[in-house]
Amino acid sequence: MEQNNSLTPFPQGLASPPGAMTPVMPIFSPTMRYNTGLTPQPVQNTNSLSLLEEQQRQQQQQQQQQATPQLYHSQVSTTTALPGNTPVHTTPLTPMTPITPATPASESSGILPQLQNIVSTVNLGCKLDLKTIALRARNAEYNPKRFAAVIMRIREPRTTALIFSSGKMVCTGAKSEVQSRLAARKYARVVQKLGFPAKFLDFKIQNMVGSCDVKFPIRLEGLVLTHQQFSSYEPELFPGLIYRMIKPRIVLLIFVSGKVVLTGAKVRAEIYEAFENIYPILKGFRKTT
């Protein structure tokens, strides 16, 4: 498929169709330097736990996310790589010209928050016997008097899962959406190998945490005075200012050093949007000494 020079209309608002298991791709944001030329891959709505497929899908999506110019041309060949997954149509790759929306007068911050933690849940679809899981699986701990779930850990991606007897599972600690999904699949695979008819239903990312550094000290007292409906700054209770942004609904912890932690997002774009919203406000409260 050759690249044409005309700009392919980029589907905004890439929401996965319900029931599909593609992770939501980063919605177009001003911080993305080059567009990634992505359209959602047509994936069979499969609950199969084939890790090979999952890993290949993950690698491909990671490549596409990084979107370095060199990879663009090499990507032409990888779109058909999935085994047993005949794509209905090959995806045309858009040219490398960055499609930026009409940017407002203020420039973007140039800083990208890094994701630190993703919490996701998935339903394995069958009742589990936690005792056998704890006894037979490696790296599993189960203390029913303390907590009613098996706590299992894997090394790659470094995550922890809470597996409940109802079959529901919480996966925490991943650094990106695809890693969270891959890790959840690995846990489900472990459970499946122990003999339970595990499925992979309703994978959903519940919370995303990101952090970044604005690289200048901030006057928190000034911020709490002007934004007091949103901020809460109690140095006796916590050294950071807790800013509850309404739109998007994100909670930011802002520290004197200039470090900012953003949490409460369901998608990556909310974190980016929240940071873009707060950055000009923080610039206004920069410490001048």
Q: Binding to another protein by residue 241, rule CB under 8 A?
A: no
Q: Binding to another protein by residue 226, rule CB under 8 A?
A: no
Cross-sheet strand order for the sheet of 201-213: 140-142, 149-154, 159-164, 168-174, 114-123, 201-213, 259-265, 250-254, 241-245, 231-232
Of 55 and 257, nearer to another protein (C-beta) is 257
The residue count for binding another protein (CB under 8 A) is: 18
Nearest approach, Cβ of 261 to another protein (angstroms)? 15
Q: Could you tell me if 168 and 92 are in contact, meaning their C-beta atoms sit under 8 angstroms apart? A: no
Q: Binding to another protein by residue 47, rule CB under 8 A?
A: no
DSSP state of 32: -
Nearest approach, Cβ of 259 to another protein (angstroms)? 11
Place of tokens 């846990």: 187
Q: Binding to another protein by residue 237, rule CB under 8 A?
A: yes
For the chain, what is the largest distance between any 2 Cα atoms, rounded to a whole number of angstroms? Answer: 64
Strand, coil or helix: 274: helix
Contact pattern from residue 250 through residue 289 relative to another protein, giving x for each residue in contact according to CB under 8 A and a dash for the rest: -----xxx-----------------------------x-x
Backbone φ, ψ for residue 47 (5° rounding): -100, 15
Q: Could you tell me if 137 and 194 are in contact, meaning their C-beta atoms sit under 8 angstroms apart? A: yes
Of 85 and 257, nearer to another protein (C-beta) is 257
Of 189 and 227, nearer to another protein (C-beta) is 227
Nearest approach, Cβ of 262 to another protein (angstroms)? 19
Q: Is the dihedral of CA 41, 42, 46, 49 positive or negative?
A: negative
Q: What is the CA radius of gyration of the chain?
A: 22
Contact pattern from residue 167 through residue 206 relative to another protein, giving x for each residue in contact according to CB under 8 A and a dash for the rest: ----------------------------------------
Q: Binding to another protein by residue 246, rule CB under 8 A?
A: no
Q: Binding to another protein by residue 234, rule CB under 8 A?
A: yes
Paired residues of 201 in beta bridges? 123
- Rule CB under 8 A: choose which of 187, 233, 272, 279 binds another protein: 233
DSSP state of 57: H
Q: Could you tell me if 90 and 176 are in contact, meaning their C-beta atoms sit under 8 angstroms apart? A: no
129-137, 164-172, 205-213, 226-234 -> range binding another protein (CB under 8 A): 226-234
Place of tokens 């037979």: 136
In terms of DSSP bridges, do strands 159-164 and 114-123 run parallel, antiparallel, or are they unpaired?
unpaired
Nearest approach, Cβ of 234 to another protein (angstroms)? 7
Q: Which residues contact another protein (rule: CB under 8 A)?
A: 217, 221, 224-225, 228-229, 232-237, 239, 255-257, 287, 289
